[in-house]
Structure 1
Amino acid sequence: MAIPSLVPPDKERVDTAISMDGYLATSSISPLARQLNEAATRAEMRVDQKNTNTVDSIIDTHYLTNKAQHDAQIPNTTNPELLARARQATGFVNGVDSNPFKGLARDQLDLIVHDEGGSFTINERRAAWEEVQSIRSTAVSSQKSISVNGRDLMISRLFHGSEPAIAQPPATFYNMAQNPCDFLNSDDRNVIADMFAYAQAEGANLAHVTQLAVVLGDYRRSSDGSQTVGGNNGYDADGYRVTFDFKKEEAQIASRILNGSAINSTRIDQGFLRYILHPDHGAFTNIGGIPFLERMVNKFSNEGDDQPPLGSEFAAFKKINFEDYAVRTTNKAIRLPPDKSVATVTNGVWSLTEYGKASGYVIDSATGKLSRPSDSPDEKTPQHSLPGAPATDAAHRTILDALADTRDQPAQRWIWPGHLFKMLRAFKP
């Protein structure tokens, strides 16, 4: 735990005498600074002992039950400054004096609030706690005042200057090219706007928020992910089972989000979080980095006031290659059965597979008809033209023809995470 800046106000300084050799002859540290240093030392010990439940005695019924005793408490000292501050704190909590800790930094106030070492009276700790609440209220008011600017940023970056109506799912062949952010609902847009305002105030690159909004919008378009087929059900070219997962560091963060307390009160949709933090979907979709998502989950929850500021690691936005955030595993114990298809198409050109050749099938180069001349007259396969071939008779269609025909597109589509991955790779923040 870092010890906060303990430089006291000028009025609290003790005169400093400097000897001829440059060393301090007397201390220049104020009584308050000395108390804060001692409180910081005790705070480090509490962290080591994982004991952080130190505010019960100064809040709610715990405090009010023993109010008379707290008002009578006097510091064990003869220092007039400490005695006067304790009296002022008691006056403040009873509404007849000003707060002696007004103007102190938040980290210094926190040291006083949580210190049970006896340096501060209960009423002093209560006064420091009330100053923390005042700072929080001011921060909330400030956040509200910039929310309009956050809305403007969202409209500018996501909607190019004009906010559209909320588009409705499901994902279809016709809306796949539409801006995924159009599908963000009212709650999504409100929290995204606040994210933009917060990220700008903290000096973070706004592309982190944009990327998160794009992924959330695509989740909404695909009927809250219900149309999206999980990515961990594929096979490689040799037929072996292939799965993908987060790298170790991001897997740990994902677990921390899903099992932490902030997820229960965060404004970010919990269903989306559980969807995107599952490897079946999240391992294919870079959301600007899971570390940024964790900071947003925590910040926009009931625990938001206790969160540290965004660090410099979010000042830049760097495109991450798929291989840099996903771990690929090939399971050679699971393999597809041999392929029984007799023909395949590459760039619109049909050709026989090895199985098709071995089974005696041929493709007529002039007509494009698929047949197997080795069949007996009673078993002979009807000759059918392959799609795209110069066939003159389309009256007979094989299942292969039907599967290959894309002229009649379905109204509703199932989506693989790879589709979204390709879209995100083309995204330019």
Structure 2
Amino acid sequence: MGMLPQHFLTESDRSLISEVYELAYEKGVDLRYVDQLARDLGRYRKHDNGTMLISFNEGSYDLQGRKQTISFTEKDAATAERILSGGALSSTDIDQGFIRWRLDPGIGFGLSSNLDFLEQMVIQFSSRADEVAELGAKFSTHVWIENNYILHTADEVTLHRPSVSEAPTEEDQVKEALASFQISKHGLNERLLEGFFGKSEARNTAQSLLSRLFDLLKISNTSKRG
């Protein structure tokens, strides 16, 4: 079993998350909101600050070869836009790289942190902390949000996959493997002949290999009798 994402948090991440837990506890916020935020931040660190994960929106296709993309729901898209365009982003203590990564729909659809809660934390830990709404009233009971993204599939086929008739059959693959084996075997035989009889004679030796071997055997037998 791999390490939990939280184990990849940096020292500064842990310090910040501790403050978030403390604030949430004081304000009566369900701590599962903080758990989710910490988990997603840990995933970001685990995957080299998100660079090891590719957004779904970069080259995803269905079986027919139609491009697929993902977007947030209208509500979450509005929240993401407020965070990215708000004045708190530039001064927040929360890693801006993580925030932008979390707000990429092609990445964020697979994460669990609540965007409304993230928005409040971005503001709370910035120079505009006085603008934070009453946290306890909104986040006192954790609510799981499902189906919070929209899958879009293009009409046009832009990725052409090989048809069944074009794909190599098992019989073709076997024939190709045998052909490769025969070529390799032939090359090996040539190298053996060169090593045994000398390179200059190797090409003329293939046809008389058996007679040469019989001659050698005769010499060997004669030596033994002598």
- Shared fold by TM > 0.5? yes
Partner residue, 1:258? 84
Contact 1:284 1:326 in 2 (8 A): no
Q: Which amino acid aligns with 2:121?
A: M
| Alignment-derived partner of residue 85 in structure 1 | none
Partner AA of 2:79 in structure 1: I
Superposed CA offset, 1:219-255 (max 9, x none): 0011101111111121122221110011111111111
Q: Please name the residue that 2:133 is paired with.
A: 308
1:240 aligned partner, one-letter code: R
The one of 94, 103, 118 aligned to 1:277: 103
Q: Which residue of 2 aligns with 1:268?
A: 94
Moved segments of 4+, more than 4 Å: none
* d(CA) in 2 for partners of 1:338, 1:182: 41
CA distance in 1: counterparts of 2:122 and 2:157, whole angstroms: 38
Matched position secondary structure for 1:382: helix
2:153 is aligned to 330
For residue 286 of structure 1, what is the aligned residue in structure 2? 112
Q: 258-267 or 236-245, which moves further after superposition? A: 236-245
Structure 2: which amino acid aligns with 1:238? Q
CA contact (8 A) 1:371 1:382 kept: no
1:343-422 aligned at under 5 Å gives the runs: 354-355=164-165, 361=169, 370-372=170-172, 380-383=175-178
Query: Per-residue CA shift, 1:29-76, capped at 9, x if unaligned?
Result: xxxxxxxxxxxxxxxxxxxxxxxxxxxxxxxxxxxxxxxxxxxxxxxx
* 1:239 has 2:65 as partner: yes
Aligned to 2:7: 182
Q: Which amino acid aligns with 1:314?
A: F
Contact 1:205 1:314 (C-alpha < 8 Å) held by counterparts: yes
Q: Is the 8 A contact 2:120 2:133 kept in 1?
A: no
Aligned length: 180
The structure richer in helix per residue is 2
1:318 aligned partner? 143
Q: What value does the CA root-mean-square deviation take over the aligned residues?
A: 2.5
SS at match of 1:338: coil
* Letter aligned with residue 83 of structure 2: I
Q: How far apart, CA to CA, are the structure 1 residues paired with 2:131 and 2:68?
A: 42
Mapped to 2, the partners of 1:218 and 1:203 lie a distance apart of 26
Please tell me the residue identity of whatever aligns with 2:72.
F
By how many angstroms is 1:338 displaced? 2.6
Partners of 1:303 and 1:290 in 2: how far apart? 18
**TM value normalised by structure 1:** 0.39
Q: Secondary structure at the match of 1:225?
A: coil
Aligned mates of 1:325, 1:246 — CA distance in 2: 6
Structure 2 Cα separation of the partners of residues 202 and 230 of structure 1: 35
Task: Give 1:303 shift.
Answer: 1.0
Identity of aligned residues (%): 32
Once the two structures are superposed, what CA deviation does each residue of 1:252-271 show, in whole Å capped at 9, x if it has no partner?
Answer: 11111111110111110011
Offset, 1:201: 1.1
Distance 1:307 1:319, change over 3 A: closer
* Aligned mates of 2:20, 2:150 — CA distance in 1: 29
Deviations, residues 86-105 of structure 1 (Å, cap 9, x unaligned) = xxxxxxxxxxxxxxxxxxxx
Listed one character per residue, the Cα deviations across residues 344-364 of structure 1 (whole Å, up to 9, x for unaligned) are xxxxxxxxxx3368x6x3xxx
Contact 1:231 1:284 survives alignment (8 Å): no
User: Whole-Å Cα distance in 2 between the matches of residues 293 and 309 of structure 1?
Assistant: 14
Judge conservation of contact 2:64–2:157 (CA < 8 Å) in 1.
no
Aligned residue for 1:226?
51
Q: Where do 5+ consecutive residues of structure 2 fail to align?
A: 185-226
Matched, 1:198 2:23: yes
Corresponding position of 2:196: none
Higher RCO, 1 or 2 (CA under 8 Å, sep at least 6)? Answer: 2
